[in-house]
Structure 1
């Protein structure tokens, strides 16, 4: 699914870039980048995964414990505030909501260990956007920064543990993000497809009080990783 997101992004950008390089050289929205402040919204897709660090790693395929995560396509929506800092530098605030589902199961265990993790994140990134000079009607850029999120479906305070069929995550998470995209200047607005990697910094797993519990007994840290494919309209 992550490959589909990446391939779709490159196909879209390559089609538009070819048209702009070899097509008519009519500039759209010539004064758009002169604005000190600009606003917009974004729609997009996401694919979340988990990364595990173990207290004691056992490479033996029989005795070692590992987890299988099924990544699925989710949905993003949100708003954008853009502050122009220089000719090629912008500061962006992109508060939004992300919906996703992950399938989760302990390997070398029966199907009863499968958990479906539904998450709704209020995601708030603060990003720096570095752009090239505008070329006709497009302008490539890279973006990076820090973000935080509130997991509205974290289940953190649920008194039931994993043996009762629950999966508990911490409510607040912090990330670093890095990605790239392209500004496409259309006749009436600017469309900016971008692809971004999102990597959690803090441990998100709520440990179970039962020693040796299947899901948490040997897990030292669990963090989310995600790919965002967003389409920004300004």
Structure 2
């Protein structure tokens, strides 16, 4: 399953829920869960998919003549699952925390080698994910409400290999265990008779350097790198 398929599924899901909700409104203008947003605290859960890559900072690289020296990142599709908690602050503004598990794997292809054992490095990421977000909502229109979100998060990468003494010379890529992100996203709240469902998409950008250099300063894998930073997208479906 690639990213385009996930985008199509997400779009179809959004359209299906939206059309169903609008049809119900025109048929009988009933407002579901009319006072749901007035609650001080709300709880729920989510699941979804993700994709991540790296922004790579080189020490020396002439982008006009040396593009063949760039490291290539193959992006994979991962999954997200977690819980949600929300505190209603004022009208149209909520504070959210969404701790969960985010799993993904990236594959780095290094130039300048002839053997596959030296060229390819898998970078698995098993994140304990803790975001703190502000949710800015528009006025509710019957059973639909759009919103945007912004905030920060910290992840603890259980697959970072940061504590290992071995490095790429022993076919082991290392990265930082703790990563800090800022996040931007948008979504829609749909109100059914029994619960609120909220599809959303969110962009994440790390702010700290995640690279742990190899033990050899002249390493052919990390010697020409200043750092790596993660960029990614999360697609979630929240139920509250």
- TM-score scaled to structure 1, two decimals? 0.94
1:123 lines up with 2:153 in the alignment: no
User: How far 1:211 moved relative to its partner?
Assistant: 2.5
Deviations 1:10-29 (A, max 9, x none): 33223333333344322211
**1:57/1:64 contact within 8 Å kept:** no
User: How far 1:61 moved relative to its partner?
Assistant: 5.3
User: How far 1:101 moved relative to its partner?
Assistant: 1.2
Alpha-carbon distance in structure 2 between the residues aligned to 1:62 and 1:131: 47
Alpha-carbon distance in structure 1 between the residues aligned to 2:67 and 2:33: 62
User: How far 1:8 moved relative to its partner?
Assistant: 3.2
Deviations 1:46-97 (A, max 9, x none): 1111110111122365685211111111111111110011121100011111
Deviations 1:166-198 (A, max 9, x none): 010110010000010000111211111100001
Alpha-carbon distance in structure 1 between the residues aligned to 2:127 and 2:146: 28
SS in 1 for 2:69: coil
Written as runs of structure 1 = structure 2, the 5 A alignment for 1:1-234 is 1-23=2-24, 24=27, 25-59=29-63, 65-110=69-114, 111-112=116-117, 113-234=119-240
SS in 2 for 1:8: helix
SS in 1 for 2:200: strand
User: How far 1:103 moved relative to its partner?
Assistant: 1.3
Structure 1: state its 5+ residue gaps.
Answer: none
SS in 2 for 1:125: strand
Structure 2: state its 5+ residue gaps.
Answer: none
SS in 1 for 2:60: coil
Aligned residue pairs total: 234
- Taking only aligned residues, the RMSD between alpha carbons, in angstroms, comes to 1.7
Deviations 1:189-215 (A, max 9, x none): 111110000111100010112122122
Structure 1 residues 5 and 199: CA distance shift in structure 2, 3 A: farther
